[in-house]
A = this chain, B = another copy of it.
Amino acid sequence: MATIVEVARLAGVSTSTVSHVLNDTRNVEPSTRAKVMAAIEKTGYRQDAVARAMRRARTDSIGLVVSDAGEPAFAEMVHGVEHAAAARGLTLVLANSAEDPVREERAVNTLLSRRVDGLIIARCAASSAAVSSRLESESPRPVVLLDRVFDNSPHDQVGADNRESMRRLVEHLQAAGHRRFLLVAGDQRVPTLVERFRGFRDAIRDADLPQQVVVDAVDMAEVREKVAAALEQGDATCVIASSTPLAVATLECLRDAGLTTPEQIAFAAFDGFSHSDLFRPTITTVRQPAFEMGAAAVSLLIDRLGAPDASPRTLRLNQTLELRESSENYRPGVS
């Protein structure tokens, strides 16, 4: 590859002039500019982003660490981040922690050593303190927490309105006559799932309903086991799963127990399945705006670059309650 030196020589100017032409950072005589452009054309020169990043403060890249690249919701966030980043001329460096704190820490270190201009991260459930302090010490390089949102975080964050959405969902189901729920709440180290659980608890409390069954197992095999046991016991008329993997496990249990939805038991889930309209049963879903969350994270990052000292913001995007068959037509007292 030709370098700026060769371009300069061919054009008969200094490298600084070439640089200024390239970046439009100083007036240059039209004739000089023309010579430079011609030389660039002739040599097929292209700027070297590495050298450029080396000299400047910025790399024009951002890092993204997701906790489970295999989950469709995270895939959508990645998509949203990529889209928003590209629109602003930023390149995306992607890493996946796969819910493993060791890999997460490694990923964060790698991205920071590559001098990304900012970092977006969906922290894994068992995220280590080392990562926390590493992220905090990175200021003023902006860090945005995605999806997994923490109280009193020193960072900007973007999450969903989990507590309120769960509340709305439960209220809807209650209005339809349900009194006894089974909540498959999942790993309570994950803030998102904690928020959903709290929304559930709030709604139950405010409606003066009796104690409900809650499954908070982490391991999916254990989830299935506990859900199966709860179904066996059999007083729930409605099951809510707090995430897609939990919904999968739960649906398997329902199927294995021979329970049909919504006739024998109602069902609803968070995050949902793709193309779910095409298949039966269609499932009542609280849908997370994953793409938009990714894009919003990029916006926060950019804003933060412009105002390093503003106090951290937490953005909560609205989820939408999509009512479908799995929670309809249930007749309390019939089953």
Contact = CB atoms under 8 A, between A and B. Distances in A.
A96 B85 CA distance: 11
Interface in A216-248: 248
Question: How many copies of the polypeptide does the oligomer hold?
Answer: 2
Nearest to A111: B91
Nearest to A137: B44
A69 B79 contact: yes
A96 B83 contact: yes
A252 interface: yes
A314 to B, nearest CB: 26
A138 to B, nearest CB: 10
B114 A91 contact: yes
A84 to B, nearest CB: 11
Nearest to A76: B70
Interface in A72-86: 72, 75-76, 78-79, 82-83, 86
A92 B252 CA distance: 35
Given A273-B275, A278-B251, A110 B93 contact: no
A94 B96 CA distance: 12
B252 A114 contact: no
Contact of A278 (B79, B82, B103, B248): B248
A280 B279 contact: yes
A132 interface: no
A91 to B, nearest CB: 6
A276 B278 CA distance: 11
Interface residues of A, number: 47
Contacts of A276: 279
A46 interface: yes
A16 interface: no
Contacts of A72: 72, 75, 274
A47 interface: yes
B110 A91 contact: yes
Contacts of A96: 79, 82-83, 86
Contacts of A275: 248, 273
A46 B94 contact: no
A88 interface: no
A83 B242 CA distance: 27
A50 interface: yes
B69 A59 contact: no
15 contacts: A46-B113, A48-B113, A50-B50, A50-B53, A72-B75, A75-B79, A86-B103, A91-B95, A91-B110, A92-B94, A92-B95, A93-B94, A94-B94, A273-B279, A279-B279
Given A47-B113, A92-B94, 6 more contacts: A50-B115, A79-B96, A82-B96, A93-B93, A93-B94, A279-B280
In the A-B complex, the 8 residue pairs with the smallest Cβ-Cβ separation, listed nearest first, are A279-B279, A75-B75, A69-B79, A49-B113, A49-B114, A280-B280, A94-B94, A251-B278
